[in-house]
Amino acid sequence: MATTTRLQADRVRLLAFRVRAVGAVRWRSPAADLYRAQVEARARRLEGEAEASHCLARCLDDLADAVERQGGRLMRGD
């Protein structure tokens, strides 16, 4: 949750630096370009971490299912 709030705050700050010009977005200064690159890198890192967490959750679900099946076999004496 805190990460989402920080990302939203970054997006608001990033939008404050933008200047719209004839259908394109220009940046006011090299500092804004640097800040945008940092925010985009952070967003990519967070997306990667979220994907890894999702994969781990699926693996743990599969493991829990396998343990439940094995537990049932042991209780029945198979």
Say yes or no to pLDDT of 72 above 60. yes
- Alpha carbon distance 2, 72 (integer Å): 41
Give me the residues paired with residue 18 across strands. 27
Residues 6+ apart with CB under 8 A from 43: 7
- Which range marks the domain in which residue 71 is found? 2-76
What is the widest separation between alpha-carbon atoms in the chain?
Answer: 74
- Alpha carbon distance 7, 73 (integer Å): 47
pTM: 0.48
Structural domains counted in the chain: 1
Q: What is the pLDDT of residues 16-61, one digit of tens each?
A: 655 444 445 555 678 878 888 899 999 999 999 999 999 999 999 9
